[in-house]
A and B are shown apart, each in its own frame.
Chain A
């Protein structure tokens, strides 16, 4: 099932969780290569990830969440992988949900499968701000693309090579690739599907959730509204 597939985990100061996340994956799927991209952590995240059996790529300094997963895409592209799974390093995502995600992409039912915490496994509790944000981006994506995405900020995804090679281009945001990236994919006619996944409580601060909510909202809004008036060439520029 995991031929030509790689898991990438962006990590910034995830010392408490990274070992369990990587070893959990390695135990469950020994044949699946796990790549941890250490985004200039100030603790021993890289060491722990390596000890658990991950291939570790180290950024010289902190670049941000988007740039970190993009390093994973670039690695997967240059190593010739055909499929890619990305998940967070804070233990929020369960490795047992990986087959459901990757099967969708491998069967060709979609180009990108997004793991949604709001479909089926309904025990996920989130903060008011986060719920409001999710609701807002759902509507925004719906408005811009006419597709319904229940969990637009999910970091648990499976992608095929066409999608992750597109994401290695310069348009891909360095900070928070969420609603804007989904909108780009939809505009370029990629097939997007959601798959129900479990979401465990985050054991620490996730780098996917920004502190600066106002900046995040502004940035997503601006880029999402610019997408329809941008030329397709913007996304194909190296």
Chain B
């Protein structure tokens, strides 16, 4: 890995770290979702610290060049992130549905109570 490549990877990783920390600080991103992106930053830095990891990965999956392994794992990571969000989305949409249903029934009951009060 050339020095230029190392510097570039570190800049990217540090930028991700700072961006995530800033988003959490401003309350735009919840702590519970930040770990995933902080992990992404760590993964980018790993080959800079220990290049052998990338070499080992490339060999293990049977790839010829290191960039293949890099891209493959990057895409794999994004797929897993996508699935994770789909799971969260499924449970959130169930929660929203339940809330709307309960709200609708509660609103009807409030209206009935109000009407009952008005009649007496």
Chain A residues close to B by CB (< 8 Å)? 37, 55-61, 63, 67, 70-71, 74-75, 78, 170, 174
Assembly CA distance A55 to B115 (angstroms): 13
Query: Sorted from nearest, which 9 A-B pairs have the closest CB atoms?
Result: A71-B101, A57-B104, A67-B97, A57-B108, A59-B104, A75-B105, A60-B100, A59-B100, A170-B94
B79 to chain A, nearest CB (A): 20
Assembly CA distance A59 to B108 (angstroms): 11
Which of B100, B101, B103 has most chain A Cβ within 10 Å?
Answer: B101
A63 partner residues in chain B, CB cutoff 8 A: 97, 100-101
Assembly CA distance A120 to B100 (angstroms): 40
A60 lies within 8 A of B104 (CB): yes
Assembly CA distance A63 to B93 (angstroms): 10
- Tell me if B107 is interfacial: C-beta within 8 Å of chain A: yes
A67 lies within 8 A of B101 (CB): yes
CB closest residue in chain A, given B93: A174
A58 lies within 8 A of B104 (CB): yes
Which of B98, B100, B104, B107 has most chain A Cβ within 10 Å?
Answer: B104
CB closest residue in chain B, given A60: B100
Assembly CA distance A57 to B112 (angstroms): 11
Assembly CA distance A71 to B98 (angstroms): 9
CB closest residue in chain A, given B97: A67
B100 partner residues in chain A, CB cutoff 8 A: 59-61, 63, 67
Interface of B, helix, strand, loop or mixed by DSSP? helix
Assembly CA distance A74 to B100 (angstroms): 12
A159 to chain B, nearest CB (A): 17
Q: Which of chain B's residues 101-120 have a Cβ closer than 8 Å to chain A?
A: 101-105, 107-108
- Known pairs A60-B104, A63-B97, A63-B101; list 7 more (Cβ under 8 Å): A57-B107, A58-B107, A63-B100, A74-B102, A74-B105, A75-B108, A170-B94
What are 16 A-B pairs at a CB distance below 8 A? A37-B104, A57-B108, A58-B107, A59-B104, A60-B100, A63-B100, A70-B101, A71-B105, A74-B102, A74-B105, A75-B105, A75-B108, A78-B105, A170-B94, A170-B98, A174-B97
Chain B residues close to A by CB (< 8 Å)? 93-94, 97-98, 100-105, 107-108
Interface of A, helix, strand, loop or mixed by DSSP? mixed
B86 to chain A, nearest CB (A): 15
CB closest residue in chain B, given A74: B101
Assembly CA distance A74 to B105 (angstroms): 8
A57 lies within 8 A of B105 (CB): yes
Assembly CA distance A122 to B61 (angstroms): 63
Assembly CA distance A70 to B94 (angstroms): 12
Assembly CA distance A78 to B103 (angstroms): 13
Which of B93, B94, B98, B107 has most chain A Cβ within 10 Å?
Answer: B98
CB closest residue in chain A, given B91: A170
A71 partner residues in chain B, CB cutoff 8 A: 101, 104-105
B108 partner residues in chain A, CB cutoff 8 A: 55-58, 75
B101 partner residues in chain A, CB cutoff 8 A: 59, 63, 67, 70-71, 74
CB closest residue in chain B, given A78: B105
B101 to chain A, nearest CB (A): 4
A74 partner residues in chain B, CB cutoff 8 A: 101-102, 105
Assembly CA distance A67 to B98 (angstroms): 9
B97 to chain A, nearest CB (A): 5
